Every structure is written in C-alpha cells, then in structure tokens.
Structure 1
Amino acid sequence: MNGTPRLNGVNGHPKDNRSHSPNMSRKSSSPMAPAFMVSAPGKVIVFGEHAVVHGKAAMAASISLRSYLLVTTLSKSQRTIQLVFPDVGLDHTWNIDDLPWHVFTKLAQRPRYYDMVTSLDPELVQAMQPHIDAVSTHLTGDTRRIHQNAASSFLYLFLSLNTPTAPACIYTLRSTLPIGAGLGSSASICVCISAALLKQIHVLSGPHHDQPEEEVEQQLERINRWAFVGELCIHGNPSGVDNTVSTRGRAVLFKREDYSKPPNAEPLKNFPELPLLLINTKQPRSTAVEVAKVASLKKKYPGVTRATLDGIDQVTMSAYTLITSENFDPSSEQNIEYLGDLFRINHGLLVSLGVSHPKLEHIREIVDYADIGWTKLTGAGGGGCAITLLKRNVDEAALRDLQEKIEAAGFEEHKTTLGGSGVGILYPAVLHNGTNEEGGEEIDQQKFLNAKGPEDIDALVGVGLLERRPEWKFWQ
C-alpha cells in the first residue's frame, strides 16, 4: 500500500473497532459475510420536460426497470475488489492495498458517511486517475468511457466510505435498463453502489416493517447523498433528480431556479403505481442540442415560447394537484383519463417547441391507432424514449398486436410500471423462486451471470414486474 491509512475508523464511524493497518491480519474467527443484493429503479420524466430548464416544475417517477448489484465477499486471504458488469463488458480488478489511501492523511476535512458532499475532492480524483486509466485499456471511444465512468463512480465511493482493511469482494451488476436512453441508468447504478457500501460498513439497518419513519428517512437520505457523489463522478454537474427518484421510488416534483444549487425536490409518496409501456426509438439524441433548440426559439419568439413553457408548467401542476388531493383514487377510470389527457397535451406542447422526432411521432401514431392509451416523449426528446400510460382493462390481444407493430417498425418495447418502489435489499441473496431447495435458492454469481437478458434477470431476482417477492425489503 502507498502511504499511511486513515486513523479515524470508517470516516469516524461509531462501533467500528477494526484495525486500520493494512498489514495486520483480520480475525480468522470472523465468518465471511453472506452474499447480498441491492436494487434500484430507473426513472422517466412524466411531465415538465424543457420547462424545467427555464425555472418551471417537472415531475419524475420511478419505473420497474432496475439495476441489481450482487455483493460477494471473498475469503480473508484475498486482497482484491472486482467489478463485473457483463451487460456492458466491464470486468476489472484492483488490489485493495495498492489504492491511494494515503490521500486521507492529508485532508483536514475528511467526509463522514453522514456528510453532505456537494463537490468532488480534486486531490482524491487525481490520486485515483492512474487506477481509472488502467480500466479497459483494450477498448476505445464510448465503450471505454462508460467503463471508466462506472469505475470512477465506484472507486470514489469505495475509498470515501471504506478503510484499507475493507474485505475483498466481487461486485456484479446486471440491469434491465437500456443505457443512454434518458432513463437514469447511471443514477440507478450509483444508488446500488451507495447502498451496498453503506450496508457493508454497517450504517444501514433494516429495512423492516416497523422501522421508525425518521430512521427510514435518515437512511434513505444517506444512500441518496452518496449516490449523488457517484453521479458527480460521471456527469460533473448532475441535477440530483435521477438519484433522488431512484433512491426513494414513487415520484418527485422538482424545480431548479438556481443552477448553483441542487433542485428543490418534493417526494410524492401517494404517486400511484400505473401500467406503462416504454418504447425506445433507439435514435441517439443529445440533451444539449435539444435544450439549445428551445433556448433559440425563446430568443426568436420570446412571448410565444414563454406561453408554451407556462402551458407545460400548468400541465405539471394539474397532475400534481390531482395526485396530492385527498380524494385521488388511482383505480378511478376518470382519474386515469385525466392523467392521460395531460400526457397528450404535454406532448403536443413539446412538439411545438421542436423537440420531438419523426420516430417519436411514428410511435405515437401506432399507439393512437391501437387506442390503448396516451403517449408522450420523455426526457430531452429528439429521439430517446416515449411512454404510454395504458387505459384500464386493455385487451391482451391488442397489446400483443401493438408489440408486433412496434417491433416491426424497429423500436424496442418494455412493459413496465410507473411509480414503484425505490432502493431495496435482498439480505442474504436467497429467494424461494418456487424451488424445493431447503431454505430457498441462493443467488450466487454464476446463476446471476447466466441470466441471458432482462426477462431472465427478472425471472431470477426481479423486484416487482413479474411477481412481488417478499424476501426483498424496502426503506419506505
């Protein structure tokens, strides 16, 4: 190991009496921790795209497409941590003793696990760089960038929350979320990493059904804060919305009037869980390009553009008023239709701002012709994804016919739900899965890696789309 390890335990964690000398052997009598798994959802913007850039409110909600992180503790003789992210082809191992722990002897103010960290420490980032440069050296371009972003996010959190005596582990990540489609995949991964590392240093208890509300809130806030730090490593100046939705689930109403500060985000705990179709155009798009389009239009036609953005804001607040009202009934056909109408209006206003795309319009036409729900683009537009809120009691044959048309047009359809649970944990990584194995089926790394795609991952360990497994626990 280079340098001297830090002296205050796990960032000053109470109840952590481990020795911090990297060369001192760990107690041979302490058993290996069981494998466990954490999971966090992706997100969609439901209302308010582009208007939010101009100081208006927007609403984002979780979806049931998720990331899953399996943590496997190795024997005491091992001194490595390994990232295995097979869906993107990332496989990298670091020697724990070679990591730049020496940085923490120089910092006057070291972050504690309960601190609010709003910027990265440049000295730590610099010390990490050789260890990030060594990731996926055989690759170039976007693929290598994705690998190094993920590695950077993980390593920054690992070093910030751990000590040189951290146990050797394999961190295996699978996801049912499309990457780069504006669905918060990076935030979902950061929430998984944050929750897993905080669990390993014993500062997360539960979750359990009778956990006090203030304790639940405190633990969610800790997970969310460190997930935001992970997002800082990837995006530089993230809004904080994606990790907040991924941590808490359901939905949030958010507004960002001052870009030097995080947005004001109000959790919507009564947001209903609704059936949703997510359709990926697979058309690459640039958020910056689409945002610039609206800014240019506003400069050219200020009055009309402001009126359009005000209209989008009114749509968002109409949905907020309905969902937070005492009489809101998510099973009411009238309420679903109200939200559906708002989908359609919001999309029309975004089209008038020039941020749709022919492929998004083609999807809307196919769904409108099938008459099974209401469709809008989600996110920046210019490609990416569309979401369809389904009408109640839609015929299965009509859904199958729609799926065939969507796929024939070259798009990718995901059946999902809107507004589900946030971060969850499976501790230990054992599910019953309808098997006869005594004590349940242990989800080991090989089974996890053998899952061929999103459907297999859902069938093996999924949180909620196919079935509600009682072994998964959520802070809520």
Structure 2
Amino acid sequence: MEKCRFHEVKVSAPSKVILFGEHAVVYGMTAVAASLDLRTRMRIKPHKSRILVNFPDVGLKESWSPEQLKTLFQHKPNTEILDVNYVYLDLIHNFLKTESSDLRMASVICFLYLYSLIMDEVGIVPMEILVESEIPLGAGLGSSAALSVCLSAGLIGVLHQVQGYEKSIFEYTSSSIQKEVCGFAFLSEKILHGTPSGIDNSISTYGGMCRFEKGNLEPVRLERNLRILLINTNTFRNTKDLVERVGEKRVKYPDIVKPILESIHAISEQFLTSIQEYNQDLNEKKFYKILEDLMDTNQSLLTGLGVSHPTLDDVCRTLKKLGIVGKLTGAGGGGFALAVLPPSISGKTVLVAKDLLETKGYTCYQADIGVNGYVIEVVK
C-alpha cells in the first residue's frame, strides 16, 4: 500500500443503559449497566486533498486542508499521557472559532484532538468521516461515548493500515488494542464531560454487562441477550439537579434516605446473583419473575427518593396494564424508562404497548442489551 493511503473503514459502537443502581451508585454502591443495541456508525474514506467531517444528525459539515491542521497540530501534547491538555483544547476552540459551551461542535473538537494524537506517527492523512447514529442525543444512553469509541477505533484502523500493521485492529481483538481504544475514548469523554466515571466508554468498547462500584468496572457474564423496550418520555431532565436533590434529602433525613439507597444497592446485587443462577440452570420463567419484582421494587424506591416524574409514572402504569413491568433508567425526572421483555411475551402485546405509549407522545425503541462492543471492518 502506498504511503498514507488506506481502504475505507466501517466501525460501529453501542450505547448503554443502566439497569439498576441509579443514585445509589453516587455513594459508592453497586450499579449494573449494559450495552444497548442502538449504535453509532462511522465510515472513514480516503479523500484526495482534505480532512472532512460530516455529522448529518446535528447538521454539521466541516473540512480543512492539511496545511491548516499542520499549524494547529504543532501544539499537540505528549501522547504518552492521555489526559486533557486545556491549553491545546483552547487552541482547538480558537481554531474552530467556537465557544466551549457549543455542544453542536463538541464532536468536531473531539475528532481534531484524537486525530492529532492517534495519527501522530504518520502525519496528516486526508480522509472523509461520515457519522450517523440511532442513539437519541443527550438522553443518558451514552451517545457521546459511542461516538468517542467510533472515533478512537476508526482512526486506529486507519493508522494500522497506513503503517502496514500485520496484527491490526481488524484481525485481532486483543486486550491491548481494546484498552487503547477505550483509553482514547475516555480522553474524548473527559473533553466532553470533565470528570466522567468511565462506565459509558468502557461499556461501548467492550460491550456486554458490567457491575460498577466506586469507579471499578467488573464484567458480568451474560449467556443470553435480554430484550428491552426503551421509552423516551421526551421530558427534559437535569441530571445534576436531581443528584443534588437526593444528596440534600440524604443529609436532611439520613435515617430515611440511606436505607432507601442501601435497598437499591441490594437490588443490584440480587440481580447479579440471579444472572449467575440464570447462566447456570435457573428456570427462565422464574428468572424473569425475579427480574420483574426487582424492577417494580426499584421503581418504588426511586419514586420514594423523589426522582420519578408524572410521565415516568404514566409509562409504568400503562405497561403494567399489559403485564409488563417498567422502571426509570438514569437520573429520572423525565428522560427514559425501560421494560425488560420476557421471551414469553407476544409480539402483539409489545406492539399494543408501543402504540399506547406513542399515542401519549412518548417514543419507543426495542433493542437487545448485553450486545458486542465496537465492531470494525475494512472495506476492500
């Protein structure tokens, strides 16, 4: 392959959903999260002369000449330390003539930062990047992490081709390559969110399900995919305000709130125990009955904390009339609810549920959880 040429790269990465542990996780207790088969997809193709990014989901298209980027990239930080260099980040903001608060440009900022680090060894390689996503933006499902993982894996895929790696990202899913993808994606998440937990980019990189406690991620073996129905209440919520509200209640009424949080933690742990039993020989019907009980109880506890919302309550009531158990996911106060769909439930019942919910102004998504992390291929 001639220098600085490569074949088209296709990469996708999943979003994430929190199943159990909302708000308790803030206080060092257990949460359970899983990859969600709503994916961000990216294509990277060679370009004759420019570096072009196209994000149609947010109506954004930008391009630069290698000469323009060469001047900017002279100031890039040392690649040995994967942490945000805020001086360099400010230079990127100035280069793009955008404020740090401009969320629409955030994806481009992350692209330029990662491009300058990952492609450092081979210089500026002209390319065209197209990104499309099935993940609702800003809804707490890890849309930014999925983009960050796609950028990281996709650019590494280009680098491996240009350098002629025999053990490239396309043929080898080694832990070292996954760790590299996850590391650059985490850097991108820091640029976007300041101090992220790392749970979103880890789930999007590795896929599957994980136990998360005190900043530590532990993979959870899941023998069978679980199907869920996700319901967007289309009600705006402020995660920071909701977390602060629970914190204030915890200080004001410790004897009431702490036991609620501990019960939420216990639900997460019971779910993990049930998953282990289900992987072995637990009867499917019994497993889903336990799961429904845990979800129902968890929703009641979250309501007791004051983080539910009339729309979330309405979703749960509507589902319950059809024999489906739902709960909020994420911070609450609006946002998303989820319901696990047992294999025994009929397709007709699911359609009826979706019709009823969408008639009320909600948006429904049906997806598998515990799916693969990033998937990458070279198109020849």
TM-score band, normalised by shorter chain: over 0.9
The counterpart of 1:412, out of the listed 353, 363, 369, is 363
1:126 aligns with 2:100: no
Q: How far off its partner does 1:326 sit?
A: 8.1
Give the secondary structure class of the aligned counterpart of 1:92: strand
2:75 is matched with 103
Alignment of 1:108-119 (within 5 A): 110-112=78-80, 117=82, 119=83
Opposite residue 412 of structure 1, the aligned amino acid is T
Q: Tell me which residue corresponds to 1:33.
A: 6
1:148 aligns with 2:101: no
- Structure having greater relative contact order (Cα 8 Å, sep ≥ 6): 2
Q: Deviations for 1:16-62, whole angstroms, at most 9, x for unmatched residues?
A: xxxxxxxxxxx9x5584221210000011111000001111101101
Q: What is the deviation of 1:393?
A: 2.2
How far 1:340 sits from its partner (Å)?
2.1
- Provide the residue aligned with 1:353 in structure 2: 305
Q: Does 1:251 align with 2:209?
A: yes
Which residue is equivalent to 1:391?
342
Alignment of 1:37-56 (within 5 A): 37-56=10-29
Q: 2:139 aligns with which of 165, 176, 181?
A: 181
The residue aligned with 2:332 is 381
Q: Is contact 2:16–2:200 with CA below 8 Å preserved after alignment? A: yes
Write out aligned runs for 1:162-177 (5 A): 162-163=119-120, 165-177=123-135
The one of 86, 91, 94 aligned to 2:56: 86
- The answer for the alignment partner of 2:269 in structure 1 is 317
Alignment partner of 1:120: what SS? coil
Which region of structure 1 is more displaced relative to structure 2, 375-384 or 88-97?
88-97
- CA shift, 1:122, in A, is 2.4
Deviation at 1:95, TM superposition (A): 2.1
2:31·2:211 contact (CA, 8 Å) conserved in 1? yes
Structure 2 distance, partners of 1:272, 1:374, is 20
Equivalent position amino acid for 1:82 in 2: L
| Equivalent position to 1:337, from 289, 306, 313 | 289
Counterpart CA distance in 1 for 2:73 and 2:250 is: 50
Q: What stretches of structure 2 of length at least 5 have no aligned partner?
A: none
Structure 1 moving runs of 4+ over 3 Å: 29-32, 324-331
What is residue 183 of structure 2 aligned with on the other side? 225
Q: Where does structure 1 lack aligned partners over 5 or more consecutive residues?
A: 1-26, 136-140, 257-262, 430-476
C-alpha distance in structure 1 between counterparts of 2:67 and 2:282, whole Å: 53
The verdict on how the C-alpha distance between 1:171 and 1:44 changes in structure 2, with shifts beyond 3 A counting, is: same
Where does residue 276 of structure 1 map in the other structure?
228
Q: In structure 2, give the amino acid aligned to 1:57.
A: T
Letter in 2 for 1:165: G
CA contact (8 A) 1:322 1:328 kept: no
Paired amino acid for 1:88: V
Q: Residues 244, 31 of structure 1: CA spacing in aligned structure 2 closer, same or farther, 3 A cutoff? A: closer
Q: CA RMSD in A?
A: 2.1
> Which residue is 1:308 aligned to?
260
TM-score, L = length of structure 1: 0.74
Percent of matched pairs sharing the same residue: 31
Is this contact kept in 2: 1:82–1:171, CA < 8 A?
A: yes
Question: Are 1:67 and 2:18 an aligned pair?
Answer: no
What SS does the corresponding residue of 1:324 show, helix, strand or coil?
helix
d(CA) in 2 for partners of 1:307, 1:421: 36
SS at match of 1:334: helix
CA contact (8 A) 1:157 1:230 kept: yes
Instruction: Show the counterpart of 2:152.
Output: 194
Q: Secondary structure at the residue paired with 2:236? A: coil
Shift of the 320–426 alpha-carbon distance from structure 1 to 2, 3 Å rule, reads: same
- The Cα shift of 1:134 comes to 5.4
TM-score using structure 2 length: 0.92
Cα distance change of structure 1 residues 58 and 374 upon mapping to structure 2, 3 Å threshold = same
Preserved contact between residue 9 and residue 158 of structure 2 (Cα < 8 Å)? no
Structure-2 separation of matches of 1:423 and 1:43: 12
Q: Please tell me whether residue 425 in structure 1 is matched to residue 376 in structure 2.
A: yes
